[in-house]
Amino acid sequence: MRKYLFVSSLALAAAAGSASAQEACASYVIQRGDSLRELALRVYGTEDYRSIYDANRDTIGKNPNVIRVGDTLQMPCVENATTTAADSGSEAERMAAEMAAELIRAAEERAEKAIAEAEARVAAAKEEARKASEDAVLAAKAAARQEIESARAEGAALIRKAGDGEQPAIRDRQILLITGGGYAPFTDENLPNRGLYTKLVETALLRAAPEQAYKIQFVNDWNSHLDLLMPTLAFDATFPWSRPDCDAAESLSESDRNRCETYNFSNPFYEVVDTFFAKEGSGYEATLTYADFAGTTICRPEGWTLSHMDAVGLYEPAIKLFRPVSPDECFYAVMDGRADIVAVEAHLAVEAIDRLGFEHQIIENPNLAAIKPLNVMTHVDNPDGEAILETLNQGLAIMQQSGEWRDIVSTALRHQMENG
């Protein structure tokens, strides 16, 4: 803050008296405009002119208020007058300093208060403008989303009406679906819309049967879906799971044959790349043939289908299988030597390798990948299972025809690339 100095007239008078004190004990020629009071103030620092008048009565005459220009007056050497002048000057200076300091403090306080109030008004104005701007943007986005959703719903209704197939029946109960987390970008409660695949399933239900009530629950113990929750019909459907090649059951592992016999599958909502990862420098990350995997330990998380491995001869005893519950455990196993190769889906692997800090240490083999579909499954004993799958298939077809499927996928993948 810029400071201003306020000086009182008393301080100026004190300074003038102090500067003229040397004229005591000397003669002085009266000038135009002089008065005894002013002379006393200049010489002795006091308006008491009696000492000057007493010393010059003969020259001045009977009236001290009348003095003549050109007359010479003697400034008496009055000790008391001098002392009084000095004391008066010192006291005047002290009072002037105190008054000036007080004026400065008061001015500073007023200025600080004014500045604080002005800054508060500016901040409030900025905040109000920012909030108004943000509110306007949010309102515009909400309106745009509502408009898009209305158009999507209208388009879905037209597609349903134009379809030749029977429209799905609305069940008088809530459909219960189950999925799990830790499978970015497809399913996880921390992902936007709880994951790409979750968004696809929800949208399919909405487009095919908008009045149908449903609920999607996350249970991260994936094995419990197939071992307990689906067989007991606690849930109507589970996702996402790959469908083994059920038309070639003789070539499937026992678990994959059991999946084919126990579950019905929707049309694929998405396809993933299932591939192999190995430690850099092991040779397995660059081999061109599955035969080079003979004798290795391959880690494949429990509950994941082995169909693509069975189809190329990667089953025991040609290889040794290690099947932990968590995909993360497979990557730790490769790093500490308990396994040679991890067989998992590429999206999940990239996310896990980055999150675990194994970049440039565990490498994908780009030569031996397989494309696999991801489906919704219902248990064969569920009386509503086939109807639920039909509803999902119709919703998927509507999304693909309208372009909504592509929009959902591209938005989710873009978020995954930007945020890791």
Taking only the tens place, the pLDDT of each residue in 224-237 is: 999 999 999 999 99
Task: Tell me the C-alpha distance between 184 and 169, whole Å.
Answer: 33
Taking only the tens place, the pLDDT of each residue in 272-285 is: 899 999 999 999 99
CA angle 54, 55, 60 (to 5 degrees): 75
CA angle 417, 419, 420 (to 5 degrees): 65
- Residue 44: pLDDT band (50, 70, 90) is confident
Q: Check whether 197 has a pLDDT greater than 70.
A: yes
Same topology, domains 9-107 and 175-419? Answer is: no
pLDDT of residue 78: 67
Amino acid at 232: T
pLDDT of residue 84: 47
The label of the residue with tokens 């996310």 reads 351
For the domain covering 9-107, report its CATH number: 3.10.350.10
- Residue 3: pLDDT band (50, 70, 90) is very low
Fold of 175-419: D-Maltodextrin-Binding Protein; domain 2 (3.40.190)
60 or 147, higher pLDDT: 60
Task: Tell me the C-alpha distance between 98 and 105, whole Å.
Answer: 10
Which residues pair with residue 10 across a beta bridge? none
The reply to whether the predicted model has a pTM over 0.75 is no
Q: Could you tell me whether strands 72-74 and 214-218 are parallel, antiparallel, or unpaired per DSSP bridges? A: unpaired
- Residue 97: pLDDT band (50, 70, 90) is low
- Residue 136: pLDDT band (50, 70, 90) is confident
Task: Of 161, 307, 180, 175, give the one whose Cα is nearest residue 237.
Answer: 175
Q: Check whether 62 has a pLDDT greater than 90.
A: no
Q: Check whether 10 has a pLDDT greater than 80.
A: no
Task: Tell me the C-alpha distance between 184 and 187, whole Å.
Answer: 6
Task: Sketch the domain layout of the chain as residue ranges.
Answer: 9-107, 175-419
Q: Check whether 12 has a pLDDT greater than 60.
A: no
257 or 144, higher pLDDT: 257
Average pLDDT over residues 324-331: 92
Burial of residue 255, with CB atoms counted within 10 A of its CB: 0-12 exposed, 13-18 middle, 19 or more buried: middle
Q: Check whether 1 has a pLDDT greater than 60.
A: no
- Residue 341 has a CB neighbour count (10 Å cut-off) of 27
Which residues pair with residue 379 across a beta bridge? 263
